[in-house]
Amino acid sequence: MTRIVHCAACAKFNLGLQVLEKLNDGYHKIRTVYQSIALRDLLTFEEADSLSLFCSDPNLPSGDENLVMRAAKEMTGFLSLPPRGARISLTKRIPVQAGLGGGSTDAAVTLLGLNELWGLGLSPRDLLPVAARLGSDVPFFLFGGTALGVGHGEEVYPLPDAPQTFILVIPGEEGMSTSEAYRRIDERLTAVERENRILPIVEAVVRGSLNVEDLFNDFEEVQTRNTRWDSILRRYSAPGGNAKFLMAGSGSAMVLLLREKAEAERALRSIRDRGGRAVLTRTLTRHDYWELTQPERE
């Protein structure tokens, strides 16, 4: 009987994202706090003689340009495994080029799914070196929940779970690659000596007293805002309110954070009544993240 494994790949946004100096390797040094959310792609792995990928989004490549295929090949090469096959199916629900980590979470979960399919018996920590070779935020998706990221973002330190928050994800009017977003970072944002704005967020998470007003994202300085919905969403995130309008990662999606589900549902209706697109989801604890991400055999 053919072995089949199913996995969910959950998205993320950044509670704080501070961009520092550009390093000699061409990458920027950053400080960030990652946060998992329940919005997710679905992946299926089936035994096969060779590697192949089917993606539900026809605009995405299915060859080596796709991080899923790169992850599969990197896994066999880095671990010195004999050539192995898998028929991989990817159902996309996370918007692409949005700053939500869609490609990175798919890559990390591919490592987990193939580990299960091929019976390798590796732990998520065993897979960290492979994940780091695939992208700066791929290692985070082998932790999930709330976590501090430093270096390029690949050095990940789990934090206590931040309070549950309801999230309205508003896709950008135009996608933007991570490399293009970083290209737009100017010298003012990447000065070497800058106040550590991530530390207060980390301390608040540890204390259990996170205030949405402390959240920020440096990419809002250089990204094109989703201005069509600004007036609607800012009504819910006025100063002193219990909400925050924030860019997701390097953009181009925006997220509206609200503690009350009813308020998030009202904001969702406001956008949809005006012909807009948005998705209502929520933050995940680390336990919730692994409940969703854990590979399941058919």
Q: Which of 254, 216, 213 is nearest to 237 (CA)?
A: 213
State whether residue 183 is helix, strand or coil. Answer: helix
66: pLDDT confidence band, cut at 50, 70 and 90? Answer: very high
- Of the ranges 30-39, 88-97, 133-142, 186-195, which one carries the lowest mean pLDDT score? 186-195
Average pLDDT over residues 23-40: 87
Query: pLDDT, tens digit, for every residue of 277-286?
Result: 889 999 999 9
Q: 84 forms bridges with which residues in the sheet? A: none
Query: pLDDT, tens digit, for every residue of 84-100?
Result: 899 999 999 999 888 99
* pLDDT given for residue 2 in this prediction: 81
276: pLDDT confidence band, cut at 50, 70 and 90? Answer: confident
For residue 129, what are the contacts with CB-CB under 8 A and spacing of at least 6? Answer: 78
Domains in the chain: boundaries:
1-298
Contact by Cβ (8 Å): 190, 22:
yes
Q: For the chain, what's the residue count? A: 298
* pLDDT given for residue 254 in this prediction: 87
* pLDDT given for residue 240 in this prediction: 52
Indicate whether 165 pLDDT > 70.
yes
Contact by Cβ (8 Å): 247, 219:
yes
Tokens of 46: 């089936």
Query: pLDDT, tens digit, for every residue of 241-261?
Result: 567 888 888 777 889 898 889
For residue 243, what are the contacts with CB-CB under 8 A and spacing of at least 6? Answer: 212, 236, 237, 256, 257, 258, 259, 263
Selection from 20-29, 70-79, 283-292 with the highest mean pLDDT: 283-292
Tell me 228's DSSP state.
G
Put residue 256 in one of left, alpha, beta given phi > 0 → left and psi -120 to 50 → alpha.
Answer: beta
Among 41, 106, 137, 161, the one annotated catalytic:
137
Question: To 5 degrees, how large is the angle CA 277–CA 56–CA 87?
Answer: 150
pTM over 0.85: yes
Most distant pair of Cα atoms in the chain: their distance: 60
Average pLDDT over residues 143-168: 95
* pLDDT given for residue 87 in this prediction: 97
Average pLDDT over residues 152-179: 85
In the CATH scheme, what is the code of domain 1-298? 3.30.230.10
Query: pLDDT, tens digit, for every residue of 192-217?
Result: 556 888 999 999 999 999 888 889 99
Tokens of 230: 């600004």
* pLDDT given for residue 115 in this prediction: 95
Tokens of 126: 């065993």
Annotated catalytic residue 12: yes
